[in-house]
Chains A and B, each alone.
Chain A
Amino acid sequence: MLLAEPQTHTALPSNRAEWLDRHLVRVCILSELTPTQFRNAEEKYHAVGDWLAADGGLLAVFAPEVYPQGSMLLGTTVRPYGQSEYDLDLVCQLHWCAQQPPLTIYDWVHERMAANETYLEMLEKLKRCLRLNYTGSFHLDILPACPNDGNGSIVVPDRRLECWMHSNPKGFAAWFLERCRLRDQLAERMMKGSVEPLPSAVPSQYKFPLQRIVQLMKRHRDIYFSGGRDIARSVILTTLAGGFYEGQRSLSLALEGVLDGIHYALEAIPTVPRIENPTHPGENFADTWDQAKYERFKSYIRNFRVELKAVLNPSLTEQRMGLEKSTERLGHLFGSGRVNEAIRIEANELNERRNGGKLGIASGGVLTALSQVGSAAVPRNQFFGR
């Protein structure tokens, strides 16, 4: 499995980008599945897979295979705006079935799910998928599918159009994970020529900057469009972020680079552009955009970029306003609740250092890790007063 190294910090951040890197990771962690929820979701989808494939069941002859797709496969989940439940997408891929009418496949999967009393109670029919509602935690959207060719490409039934729609979640994830590589790892891989296997799902502490970037873009999308997702679909954000990311290690600088890249590319295109599926040329992810939607998408990117740059490189006036101004701007981007919570976590970490005798001060008065050369220990104290 391709994983980033878990990050541990012995030093305190020494510049704004380093501070922002840590702050943004905290915002992401507050927005994604907790490790317990993650394991729980994995258990649930394995159980669904076992049920669908069980011997003697309606679908057993089609050897169904259940695997995650979308944000769960990419490691880019964020809790939807104003909701406590995560959307997790699964593919239920049958075999030797592409000759069947699309609706038949959909109905077969539905019938098999409904044959389980537990699932029946929480089952819901949606346009392309079947939804299992795990109230208060997440819902699993199960997309019935048939293979299209040997390359992981599949077709999925569209109930409304009653036709097969093309999809390639495994191919897209392979492309995305390849784009996640850090610049130095990329060089290493080119030298060795090795190919890593595809990860099934990535636990949060091992995430790459690009995965965090997509989470942050989705979170700001949810804030900027008040929960509306049709203009800045996750697949568009993922494709653009993956296209413009250049392997930087610093999350904040990488995010700035991605937003710069998207901004300049779109500013040069006055009319609605195509945003092609990188693994299926010809498929346009932006096929629902009209000029108005495109303009709103551009303004979302512009706003994101301006706010982020103001935090990274503040004016002198804003610098004098200290953390308060940056927190206000970050609140506009990701919601003040999560940003304040991230500050609270930062404060807890600072207090742990302080109480553990690991806090130091450098000669300019900058708080630092005690391990830093030239720093002196900050003795314990208790602030006094009302």
Chain B
Amino acid sequence: MNRIKTLGIRDQAAWVRSRYPGFRCDVTGGLLTCRGRLRPGPMNATYEVVIQYRVGTWPKVYVAGDQLQPVESGGKIPHTYAPTEPCLFYPSRASWHSDMKLSHTIIPWLSLWLTFYEMWRATGEWHGGGISHGAVKELEPAA
């Protein structure tokens, strides 16, 4: 039934390097870690970002250091799992599956997320849409 052709970890790394020559990718024990810088547009800051992925799990993204800040101290940043960890997609096989390239999905979504994050910091409103955690009872397993 499952017709997904899972991309191997080294293929994923190669795609990231070819699309984003500034990114450094390492594979250790089946875990891919890509580090690089993203600046979504001319008005935006530059962010140090980390993408981690192991086949069979959801990719994770982190924004390094304390670059992401809530508007009020102790407050929540919209669409994050943790203060440094944006939620880029609704974790279901329809949103992301392992034949998708990180370079063509996760990284652009992160750029887009950072754009809306800065708009939110600037105006107090999240314009990027999305699904809230509360709307989902149980996460599907990763593809």
The closest CB in chain A to the CB of B105 belongs to: A379
Q: Which of A37-45, A208-216, A359-367 contacts B (4 or more CB under 8 A)?
A: A359-367
Contact between B89 and A384, CB atoms less than 8 A apart: yes
Which one of A364, A367, A379, A383 lies within 8 Å of B79 (CB-CB)?
A383
Contact between B112 and A378, CB atoms less than 8 A apart: yes
Which one of A321, A344, A361 lies within 8 Å of B107 (CB-CB)?
A361
User: What is the bound-complex CA distance between A347 and B129, given in angstroms?
Assistant: 10
The closest CB in chain B to the CB of A350 belongs to: B115
User: What is the bound-complex CA distance between A123 and B128, given in angstroms?
Assistant: 49
What are 17 inter-chain pairs, A to B, with CB distance below 8 A? A19-B43, A319-B45, A323-B118, A327-B122, A343-B119, A344-B123, A347-B116, A347-B119, A348-B127, A361-B111, A365-B20, A365-B36, A381-B89, A382-B90, A382-B95, A383-B109, A386-B78
The closest CB in chain B to the CB of A331 belongs to: B122
Q: Chain B residues near A351 (CB, 8 Å)?
A: 127-129
Q: Which of A8-16, A105-113, A133-141, A292-300 contacts B (4 or more CB under 8 A)?
A: A8-16
Within residues 13 to 29 of chain B, which ones have a CB less than 8 A from any CB in chain A? 19-22
A-B contact count (CB 8 A): 150
List 6 tightest A-B contacts by C-beta distance, closest first: A383-B130, A347-B127, A385-B87, A322-B45, A327-B122, A365-B38
Any chain A CB within 8 A of the CB of B30? no
Chain B residues at the A interface, C-beta cutoff of 8 Å: 19-22, 36-46, 76, 78-81, 86-91, 95, 104-105, 107-113, 115-116, 118-119, 121-125, 127-134
Q: Chain B residues near A347 (CB, 8 Å)?
A: 116, 119, 127-128
A16 and B39 in contact (CB under 8 A), knowing A382-B89, A382-B129?
no
Contact between B42 and A14, CB atoms less than 8 A apart: yes
A343 and B123 in contact (CB under 8 A), knowing A381-B89, A385-B133?
yes
User: What is the bound-complex CA distance between A229 and B134, given in angstroms?
Assistant: 52
Contact between A366 and B41, CB atoms less than 8 A apart: yes
Contact between A361 and B108, CB atoms less than 8 A apart: yes
User: What is the bound-complex CA distance between A2 and B89, given in angstroms?
Assistant: 49
A376 and B79 in contact (CB under 8 A), knowing A19-B41, A323-B119, A327-B123?
no
Contact between A378 and B109, CB atoms less than 8 A apart: yes
Any chain B CB within 8 A of the CB of A159? no
Q: Chain A residues near B44 (CB, 8 Å)?
A: 322-323
Contact between A323 and B121, CB atoms less than 8 A apart: yes
Q: In the complex, how many angstroms separate the beta carbon of A223 from the nearest chain B beta carbon?
A: 18
User: What is the bound-complex CA distance between A366 and B115, given in angstroms?
Assistant: 10
Q: In the complex, how many angstroms separate the beta carbon of A361 from the nearest chain B beta carbon?
A: 4
Q: Chain B residues near A363 (CB, 8 Å)?
A: 19-21
User: What is the bound-complex CA distance between A354 and B108, given in angstroms?
Assistant: 11
Contact between A365 and B131, CB atoms less than 8 A apart: no
User: What is the bound-complex CA distance between A328 and B43, given in angstroms?
Assistant: 13
Any chain B CB within 8 A of the CB of A326? yes
Any chain B CB within 8 A of the CB of A320? yes
Q: In the complex, how many angstroms separate the beta carbon of A378 from the nearest chain B beta carbon?
A: 4
Task: Identify 15 new A-B residue pairs, CB closer than 8 A, beyond the known A361-B107, A379-B108, A386-B79.
Answer: A15-B42, A16-B42, A322-B43, A323-B121, A347-B127, A350-B115, A354-B112, A364-B39, A366-B111, A367-B41, A379-B104, A383-B116, A383-B128, A385-B79, A385-B132
Any chain B CB within 8 A of the CB of A85? no
Q: In the complex, how many angstroms separate the beta carbon of A318 from the nearest chain B beta carbon?
A: 10
Which one of B21, B86, B111 lies within 8 Å of A367 (CB-CB)?
B111
A385 and B115 in contact (CB under 8 A), knowing A340-B123, A364-B39?
no
Q: Chain B residues near A323 (CB, 8 Å)?
A: 43-44, 118-119, 121-122
User: What is the bound-complex CA distance between A384 and B91, given in angstroms?
Assistant: 8
Q: In the complex, how many angstroms separate the beta carbon of A337 from the nearest chain B beta carbon?
A: 10
Q: Chain B residues near A364 (CB, 8 Å)?
A: 20, 22, 38-39
The closest CB in chain B to the CB of A323 belongs to: B118
User: What is the bound-complex CA distance between A257 and B52, given in angstroms?
Assistant: 48
The closest CB in chain A to the CB of B38 belongs to: A365
Of listed A15, A16, A322, A382, residue having the most chain B CB within 10 A: A322
Any chain B CB within 8 A of the CB of A260? no
The closest CB in chain A to the CB of B94 belongs to: A382
The closest CB in chain A to the CB of B46 belongs to: A320
Q: Chain B residues near A14 (CB, 8 Å)?
A: 42
A12 and B41 in contact (CB under 8 A), knowing A363-B19, A366-B111?
yes
Q: In the complex, how many angstroms separate the beta carbon of A195 from the nearest chain B beta carbon?
A: 40
Q: In the complex, how many angstroms separate the beta carbon of A48 from the nearest chain B beta carbon?
A: 41
Q: Chain A residues near B115 (CB, 8 Å)?
A: 350, 367
